Amino acid sequence: MSVKRRWPVLAAVVVLLLGVAGTLWVNRTAPVPEVHSRDLLIDVVDGPQHDQAVQIDATFYLPPTTPAPAVIVSPGFGATKTSLAEDATALARRGFAVLAYSARGFGRSTGQIALNSPDYEVADAHQLVDWLARQPEVQLDKIGDPRVGVTGASYGGALSLLLAGTDPRVDAIAPVITYNDLSQALVPGGVFKKAWAGALFGSALTGGGQAPGACGRFLPEVCQAYTELATTGRAGEQTIDLLKRNSPASVTSSITVPTLLVQGEQDTLFGLDQADANARQVKGRVKVEWYPGGHDGGPPGDQVRADIGDWFGFHLAHTGTDPGTGFSYQVQGAFRARGAPLTRTVTAPAYPGAEQHTVALTGPIQPVVNPPGGSPASVSGLPGLGAALLGGSGTAATGLAGSLAADLPGESAVFTSAPVDSQLLIAGSPTVRLSVSAPPGAESGSTVLFAKLYDVGPDGRRTLPGSAVTPIRLDAVPAELTVTLPGIVRPVAAGHRLQLVVTTTDQAYANQTEPAVRTIGLAGNSALSVPVVPGSSATGSGVPTGPLVGIAVVLGLGLLAAIVGLVRRRYAEDLDPELAEVPMVITGLTKSYPGRLTAVQDLSFRVERGQVLGLLGPNGAGKTTTLRMLMGLVRPTEGEIRVFGHRVHAGAPVLSRVGSFVEGAGFLPHLSGAANLRLYWAATGRPAEHAHVEQALEIAGLGDAIRRRVGTYSQGMRQRLAIAQAMLGLPDLLVLDEPTNGLDPPQIHQMRDVLRRYAATGRTVLVSSHLLSEVEQSCTHVVVMHKGKLVASGTVEEIGAGSGEASFRVDRVTEAARVLRELNGTGPVTVEGQVVHADLGSTARSAAVDALVRAGVAVEQAGPRRRLEDAFLQLVGEEARS
């Protein structure tokens, strides 16, 4: 090659190497700033006469460099400063002096709960600002005036608004999933939200160092207001005045500081309407973000938390770029097999920015009955309990909760649209005109109704977005009215229909108790007005949406990724020959997240061929994080994982020998189960004859359903199909995370046999599960984790026998029990049929057998008592029970 032709090649290589170096530099792991904290008891004086002495329990988090701007983090109702530690630490690492505290009446803070009263909780917060102004670590704007922001969720978010509206020293706020007007949030449309209110008030009726009583930790006037609502279902003038006075709506017109409003799209306590009211009333710079969570769907994720940090960074520390005043909301797409949702973010330049689309509804005038006592009642959701009862959290569980709604026959009027031609993305509160009347001869007094909007699929399956309803109270009928339905974010797919349902009852509210008959019909133009917010879709990649720039960036990133991958593989894909036949070895594995607790710490264990190893531990033990690192989905902070001698990293070729069900399979809902399996295998690029699809289909046990569209599958059917997909190709190492979720007992028994037979072929199975009985019956070996650490490992027999208990199958159980009880050091002795169980303590099992034989008892079998649950609880402590 000539010199002239060599130069362009060399130049290209240099450019690529510089790009690689730049990428590695950008992606380097930055040192985590050290944060110091100290616990405090801050004395405050408040009450209408400023004569109430109260101590506020707080923790002060200090960044490496001070003085620094301050951020107050206020707790949600019933929470304490402990639950704020993670967010407070993250903000301190971003350079803020952070004060997290327990509100009066909660935790170690004294005083009575006054529901964010200006005379009590807000007065407390004013004095917390005074305290910050006296701290040398806090940056001051002037004497007595610290540079301070306030954030908090729910009850704490309302406190941030109330403080900003009454204290000019507050410089920026970021309230999360909070309310505007408690009288509207708890008594919407004049109908009491009894399920939520009961859960909240019931949690604070006892404890807190207060004397027991009907009012618990509440001020008498608050207790009186709740008693009125709970017993009558209505709010009197005094109760309404109390709720309004303690609400941000009383001060929002005075808020002029930069305000970031974060609200959840899955929230039956404080819906999007509450955020909408705050956004319209606040006078300062306002930015609005909706995320797919809330009181029913979980706290904000990392991106929203980062946005809050950026908000305070710009407005308090004057760092970073201006976050602006736009509007963004997240849209849930299809749900994967295990419920993990796909989401995208839509950004609009201004709030609300909604356009109204009309959707025609049809349906005759229909009679509906309110049963005596308002029972039985229709079900819209499980307020605050959907995630827990469905065995999940966040958007996955609330997505399932939306399918639980049930409207009782005779109590519901239904109006339905034609199938939509193309996807309709609803973002906000639809409206519709209704007419309500009483049939001839019926009583025409007050009426309580509940309106909700369903997304109905082609197969008739209905989903109630957000599990939300709009309650309506009419003092008299006939009446014609415009009904504002709950604010939702819902992509209605092409071919789906919208269905408006109006019921007379709902189990989450105080229903009308007098029997009544009403007729419901559509009024006006019989159309539903649907808000649509045009905007640009974005993902977490940050890739520009301009076509040419986007293509160039994607190609460039792809080229750099390929080069980085080659460089990393050259140095990281080393083989340890001594471990070439060992399925898996984990050594010193640690995973820490910036601003968070360490998920996995110095974990080491080894898995051999033919084992079925159960990975056990309570929630938060680090099991799933470990499996994600095993699959190359997460990079360890320290340590390594080797599979058949090869070190695991993202894209490692050795992962082709691993079949996994960890993150949930992303099935295509319009294809059959069999087609999904074949398509998945084709994507691996391996020969079709190596897939062993028939064996996988037999494992799935779906029968004729294997030829149906996956979109029609239940969760249990998806679970079985996902496990079959993991077994395609009969991998040498099979990794399953909670494989029995969604399976019925016969299917669990079948799965147990499949795992044993699979390991008997010389392959290895690693199962993460919380079902101790299943691990005991399915697995040969156990690894127990707790708080990210290894606490025990060994065979099931070894772990189960750790308590010293033994079992004896004998011919004379009564005599055997007597002999064992008389042995020195023996603990409890129990009898089950012909088997006697005994805690032998320090007595050897052989000595116990000898004593039984001398007493004339025939011992047919003796061995350790397999009680894995007892051993597990001994290892990880009683907290595993909860």
Section 93-107 average pLDDT:
95
Give the model confidence (pLDDT) of 403-458 as tens digits: 567 888 889 999 999 999 998 999 999 999 999 999 887 777 889 999 999 999 88
The beta strands (E) that lie in 658-786 are given as 658-661, 733-737, 764-768, 781-786
Handedness of CA 70, 75, 76, 77 (dihedral sign): negative
Smallest Cα–Cα separation from 806: which of 823, 793, 781?
Answer: 823
Per DSSP, the three-state class of 131 is helix
Residue 592 in tokens: 């820490």
Smallest Cα–Cα separation from 124: which of 45, 51, 180?
Answer: 45
Residue 554 in tokens: 């994607």
Write the DSSP string, 668-703: -TTSBHHHHHHHHHHHHT--GGGS-HHHHHHHHT-G
Q: Which residue has the higher pLDDT, 144 or 659?
A: 144
- For residue 581, the 8-state DSSP code is T
pLDDT at 499 over 90: yes
Q: Which residue has the higher pLDDT, 828 or 277?
A: 277
Residue 54 in tokens: 């109260």
User: Would you state the pLDDT for residue 506?
Assistant: 92
Give the model confidence (pLDDT) of 744-761 as tens digits: 777 777 777 777 877 887
pLDDT at 826 over 60: yes
> Using CA atoms, how far apart are residues 838 and 757, in angstroms rounded to an integer?
33
> Using CA atoms, how far apart are residues 136 and 93, in angstroms rounded to an integer?
18
- In this structure, the strands spanning 497-503 and 412-416 are antiparallel
| Cβ neighbours for 463, distance < 8 A, ≥ 6 positions apart | 399, 402, 403, 454, 455, 456, 457
User: Would you state the pLDDT for residue 169?
Assistant: 97
> Using CA atoms, how far apart are residues 702 and 713, in angstroms rounded to an integer?
10
Section 189-205 average pLDDT:
83
Whether residue 874 contacts residue 832, with contact meaning beta carbons closer than 8 Å, is answered with no
116-134 as b/e: b if 16+ CB within 10 A:
bbbbbbbbbbbbbbebbbe
User: Would you state the pLDDT for residue 671?
Assistant: 82
Handedness of CA 112, 114, 120, 122 (dihedral sign): positive
User: Would you state the pLDDT for residue 317?
Assistant: 94
Whether residue 246 contacts residue 220, with contact meaning beta carbons closer than 8 Å, is answered with no
Give the model confidence (pLDDT) of 59-75 as tens digits: 999 999 999 999 999 99
pLDDT confidence tier of residue 127, bands split at 50, 70 and 90:
very high
User: Would you state the pLDDT for residue 802?
Assistant: 52
- For residue 32, the 8-state DSSP code is P
Average the pLDDT over each of 122-126, 322-326, 501-505, 552-556 and give the range with the smallest value.
552-556
524-533, 534-543, 683-692, 854-863: which has the highest mean pLDDT?
524-533
> Using CA atoms, how far apart are residues 238 and 710, in angstroms rounded to an integer?
55
The amino acid occupying position 123 is A
Residue 56 in tokens: 């506020």
Section 686-704 average pLDDT:
76
User: Would you state the pLDDT for residue 352?
Assistant: 83
Whether residue 173 contacts residue 150, with contact meaning beta carbons closer than 8 Å, is answered with yes
Q: Looking at the DSSP assignment, which residues form a beta bridge with residue 432?
A: 483
> Using CA atoms, how far apart are residues 230 and 224, in angstroms rounded to an integer?
10
Smallest Cα–Cα separation from 315: which of 61, 96, 86?
Answer: 96
Distance of CA 315 to the CA centre of its chain: 30
| Torsion, Cα of 800, 602, 737, 767 (10° steps) | -40
pLDDT at 541 over 70: no
Q: Which residue carries 């919380």 as its tokens?
A: 770
Section 459-469 average pLDDT:
88
Average the pLDDT over each of 37-41, 681-685, 695-699, 781-785 and give the range with the smallest value.
695-699
Give the model confidence (pLDDT) of 236-247 as tens digits: 999 999 999 999
Number of Cβ within 10 Å of residue 349's Cβ equals: 12
Q: Which residue carries 């809902």 as its tokens?
A: 669
Smallest Cα–Cα separation from 450: which of 687, 699, 192?
Answer: 192
Smallest Cα–Cα separation from 153: which of 174, 169, 126?
Answer: 174
Smallest Cα–Cα separation from 471: which of 689, 185, 207?
Answer: 185
pLDDT at 872 over 80: no
- In this structure, the strands spanning 36-46 and 140-142 are unpaired
Length of the chain: 882
> Using CA atoms, how far apart are residues 760 and 752, in angstroms rounded to an integer?
13
Q: Which residue carries 């000595």 as its tokens?
A: 847
> Using CA atoms, how far apart are residues 717 and 740, in angstroms rounded to an integer?
11
> Using CA atoms, how far apart are residues 826 and 813, in angstroms rounded to an integer?
17
Query: How high is the mean pLDDT of the chain?
Result: 82
Q: Looking at the DSSP assignment, which residues form a beta bridge with residue 585?
A: 606, 642
Per DSSP, the three-state class of 463 is strand
Per DSSP, the three-state class of 466 is helix
Q: Which residue carries 């305000």 as its tokens?
A: 259
| Cβ neighbours for 632, distance < 8 A, ≥ 6 positions apart | 648, 649, 650, 651, 652, 655
Residue 362 in tokens: 């049809």
Percent of the chain with pLDDT over 70: 83
Number of Cβ within 10 Å of residue 881's Cβ equals: 8
Residue 126 in tokens: 């004013």
Residue 868 in tokens: 């894995």
pLDDT at 569 over 70: no
pTM for the predicted model, two decimal places? 0.61
User: Would you state the pLDDT for residue 155?
Assistant: 95
> Using CA atoms, how far apart are residues 867 and 288, in angstroms rounded to an integer?
53
> Using CA atoms, how far apart are residues 665 and 679, in angstroms rounded to an integer?
12
pLDDT at 12 over 80: no
Where on the phi/psi map is residue 530: left (φ > 0), alpha (ψ -120 to 50), or beta? beta
Section 188-213 average pLDDT:
73
Q: Which run of H or of E encompasses 571?
A: helix 547-572
Give the model confidence (pLDDT) of 719-731 as tens digits: 888 888 888 888 8
515-533 as b/e: b if 16+ CB within 10 A:
ebebbbbbeeeebbbbbeb
Q: Which residue carries 């004395």 as its tokens?
A: 43
- In this structure, the strands spanning 447-456 and 805-810 are unpaired
Q: What are phi and psi of 185, to 5 degrees?
A: -75, -40
User: Would you state the pLDDT for residue 15?
Assistant: 46
User: Would you state the pLDDT for residue 868?
Assistant: 58
User: Would you state the pLDDT for residue 727?
Assistant: 84
- For residue 262, the 8-state DSSP code is E
